[in-house]
Amino acid sequence: MLDLFSIFSKGGIVLWCFQSTSEIFSPSVNALIRSVILQERSGNTTYNHNSLTLQYKLDNEFELVFVVAYQRILQLSYVDKFLNDVHLEFRDKYKNELQGGQHMGDFDFKACFDAVLKGCEQWAKSQAKLPKQMRTFEDSQKSKKTVASMIERKGEEKGKKSVKIVESKSLTNGKVEEPEIEDDLIAASRAKLAQKLNKPKKDVKKSPKSPVAEKERVKKPRVWELGGGARDLPSLDFSTDKPQDRAINPDTQLVGRMTGAIRDLEVDSSESSSDEEEVATAPSPKKTGGMFSIFKGLVGAKALSAESMRPVLDKLRDHLIAKNVAADIANKLCESVGAKLEGKVLGTFDSVAKTIKSTLTESLVQILSPRRRVDILRDAMHAKQEGRPYVMAFCGVNGVGKSTNLAKICFWLIENDMSVLIAACDTFRAGAVEQLRTHTRHLNALHPAERHNRTMVQLYEKGYGKDAAGIAMEAIRYASDSKIDVVLIDTAGRMQDNEPLMRALAKLIKVNEPDTVLFVGEALVGNEAVDQLVKFNQALADHSSTSNPHTIDGIVLTKFDTIDDKVGAAISMTYITGQPIVFVGTGQTYTDLKALNANAVVHALMK
């Protein structure tokens, strides 16, 4: 997946160029020439510009530059070898012309280039298949964990093999391929289930119900208690519900609490030692100790030097890594703290604390600030003015909280007077449609049609085993015809390595062109979520078969209430993709949906 390869002379003449898509790479190559090659910076032969990584090799004898560019999100293990091999081939093939000082002419290099590329790709595959060595203790140390190390390389095999299940398109024909690798029983059973469910609906309905179950149901109808404090709610987990059996008693206290923009993660001022606010509600408070004790040694009458700060900054780095911050980000944060403190005289402990807090906040705000602002309410309003529904697709692995947080977002939209159509496109997981049906009923009970003069949320469902992309398309059409403001597409959970399912997701996004694709990841799994995010993004780019693929636009970080102060994954996710964390899930009620705020993250980091 190379985007560009170019061979040019230091004098600026392009000898040969392969460009897979369009002219959009020129600014990046120009930037490389300006800021690296012309300045004769040696050492690092990798240069990042916008979303691209450029790697180059210089041939000083013939004064040539070989440049390859690829999406920064990709981890191509063969690029070094490839640059070397192409360099040698090109020199060998055209040495006569080059010796003659000819930098112009017909360099018909395509066939040779393709052959070298193919050879290198095969080499990379064979390298990836080599048995893995057992890690040494040093290798497994947490401090070695960099952002790059969190992402597995493309083509690398994992211990757990995923099963190849045919794309959802073929599932509609009622056929499921035999799994290629048999050890993934869960995926295999899922495929069988999908096949079973693919039978006509009538059959499913006719299936005899256990008389015992029937009896039990009559005896004990479940009542969904929305009453009581929000925290007492039995949770939004409807994944195993029989919605028709529940009576609804909506808690009107929830209504009206989510109007306007999503609120920031709350900050507990009582806990803060200084006059400043902060602290995420999620992480549990610990009053004693805290990170500041590390800096006690810096208080004194002398100006701070890099040398005197080193041990303290090392401790700060370890502290951040312990909070799940990736090592390279921790380094960057420590560097910025060091730079800010150097030369200062910190007479009191208070001044140390204040300086460090403000430096960390500044750096984190920079990392956590999205490149692009996502304003869903504004965009949805805009779509409404254009007479079309605003479409959001939710993707992620199973169990991360896609459906639950989709329902929370739905509640927030309704609170802001947007009508919503939920498209039940998880056609795999048993109970997924019922779960959404239950949410729909509860959301409508909280915001009854009589109050709004229209039904605020509807469910578009077509059962199981069907083509998800097709259902999404029908749902969008229905919403458009019925003047519904927003469509929320719930997709089936899938592992990031499951290629057929990732291809099906790319298809769903390609054919339906949602306004926003949100990746749902749970904060609970820490840096595993980073790996998932990177691979989802990469798969969407790889399988979309367009030059301008629609990848992930934003992140929903769920279960933030369960991670104590280990907020590092949140930082890594934004740092790596540059995409914003649009929503943070902080619990299991409809109002437990927040926006990330750097102050809250800093506070959690400093505990």
Q: Looking at residues 378 to 397 of the shown chain, list those that interact with ligand GDP (rule: CB under 6 A).
A: 396
Q: Looking at residues 458 to 497 of the shown chain, list those that interact with ligand GDP (rule: CB under 6 A).
A: 493
Q: Where are the beta strands (DSSP E) in 121-165?
A: none
CA 407/CA 590 separation, integer angstroms:
7
Q: Where are the beta strands (DSSP E) in 401-473?
A: 420-425, 457-460
SS3 at position 472: helix
CB of 195 to ligand GDP, least distance (A): 21
CB of 236 to ligand GDP, least distance (A): 5
CB of 567 to ligand GDP, least distance (A): 14
Number of residues that bind ligand GDP (CB under 6 A): 23
CB of 428 to ligand GDP, least distance (A): 10
The single residue listed with the structure tokens 């009923």 is 441
CB of 448 to ligand GDP, least distance (A): 24
Token pair belonging to 125 = 């595959």
- Residue 5 in contact with residue 116, Cβ under 8 Å? no
Nearest CB to ligand GDP, comparing residues 52 and 424: 424
Q: Which of residues 194, 294, 353, 400 is near ligand GDP by CB under 6 A?
A: 400
- Residue 464 in contact with residue 190, Cβ under 8 Å? no
Q: Which of residues 2, 7, 194, 236 is near ligand GDP by CB under 6 A?
A: 236
Q: Which stretch binds ligand GDP (CB under 6 A): 59-67, 289-297, 314-322, 554-562?
A: 554-562
CA 403/CA 491 separation, integer angstroms:
9
Nearest CB to ligand GDP, comparing residues 462 and 559: 559
Nearest CB to ligand GDP, comparing residues 179 and 585: 585
Provide φ and ψ at 523, rounded to 5°.
-65, -25
CB of 26 to ligand GDP, least distance (A): 42
Number of H helices, E strands in the chain: 21, 15
Residue 389: which of 457, 303, 317 has the closest Cα?
457
Nearest CB to ligand GDP, comparing residues 74 and 582: 582
CB of 222 to ligand GDP, least distance (A): 16
Q: Which of residues 198, 324, 359, 405 is near ligand GDP by CB under 6 A?
A: 405
Contact between 562 and ligand GDP by CB under 6 A: the answer reads: yes
Rg from Cα positions in the chain: 28
Nearest CB to ligand GDP, comparing residues 435 and 551: 435
Nearest CB to ligand GDP, comparing residues 553 and 592: 592
Q: Which stretch binds ligand GDP (CB under 6 A): 135-143, 154-162, 545-553, 586-594?
A: 586-594
| CA trace torsion 103, 107, 109, 110 (10° rounding) | 120
CB of 592 to ligand GDP, least distance (A): 6
Q: Which of residues 403, 458, 516, 591 is near ligand GDP by CB under 6 A?
A: 403
The H or E element containing residue 470 is helix 468-481
User: Residue 555 carries which DSSP code?
Assistant: E
Q: Which residues pair with 522 in a beta bridge?
A: 558
Nearest CB to ligand GDP, comparing residues 363 and 438: 438
Dihedral over Cα of 481, 486, 492, 498: its sign:
positive
Q: Which stretch binds ligand GDP (CB under 6 A): 30-38, 347-355, 553-561, 564-572?
A: 553-561
Single-letter amino acid code for the residue at 547: S
Q: At what angle do helices 568-577 and 327-341 cross, to 10 degrees?
A: 90
Contact between 75 and ligand GDP by CB under 6 A: the answer reads: no
Nearest CB to ligand GDP, comparing residues 431 and 578: 431
Contact between 588 and ligand GDP by CB under 6 A: the answer reads: yes
Token pair belonging to 238 = 């409807």
Nearest CB to ligand GDP, comparing residues 234 and 448: 234
How far the first Cα of the chain sits from its last, in Å, is 43
Contact between 401 and ligand GDP by CB under 6 A: the answer reads: yes
- Residue 413 in contact with residue 486, Cβ under 8 Å? yes
Q: Which stretch binds ligand GDP (CB under 6 A): 172-180, 232-240, 436-444, 508-516?
A: 232-240
Residue 466: which of 266, 206, 245, 173 has the closest Cα?
173
CB of 531 to ligand GDP, least distance (A): 17
Nearest CB to ligand GDP, comparing residues 493 and 500: 493
Q: Which of residues 278, 415, 542, 561 is near ligand GDP by CB under 6 A?
A: 561
CA 278/CA 319 separation, integer angstroms:
19
β-strands 581-585, 554-558: how paired? parallel
CA 144/CA 268 separation, integer angstroms:
33
Contact between 253 and ligand GDP by CB under 6 A: the answer reads: no
Dihedral over Cα of 69, 74, 80, 81: its sign:
negative
User: Residue 142 carries which DSSP code?
Assistant: G
Nearest CB to ligand GDP, comparing residues 65 and 446: 446
Q: SS3 for 514-563, per residue?
A: CCEEEEEEEHHHCHHHHHHHHHHHHHHHHHCCCCCCCCCCEEEEECHHHC
CA 82/CA 80 separation, integer angstroms:
5
Q: Which of residues 402, 437, 441, 543 is near ligand GDP by CB under 6 A?
A: 402
Q: Which stretch binds ligand GDP (CB under 6 A): 309-317, 371-379, 461-469, 559-567?
A: 559-567
CB of 86 to ligand GDP, least distance (A): 44
* Complete edge-to-edge strand list for the sheet that includes strand 46-49: 14-19, 4-9, 64-71, 52-59, 46-49
Contact between 281 and ligand GDP by CB under 6 A: the answer reads: no
Q: Looking at residues 516 to 535 of the shown chain, list those that interact with ligand GDP (rule: CB under 6 A).
A: none
CB of 129 to ligand GDP, least distance (A): 32
CB of 234 to ligand GDP, least distance (A): 10
Contact between 232 and ligand GDP by CB under 6 A: the answer reads: no
Phi/psi region, residue 283 (left: phi>0; alpha: psi -120 to 50; beta: rest), is beta
The footprint of ligand GDP (CB under 6 A) covers: 235-237, 239, 396, 398-405, 493, 558-559, 561-562, 585-588, 592
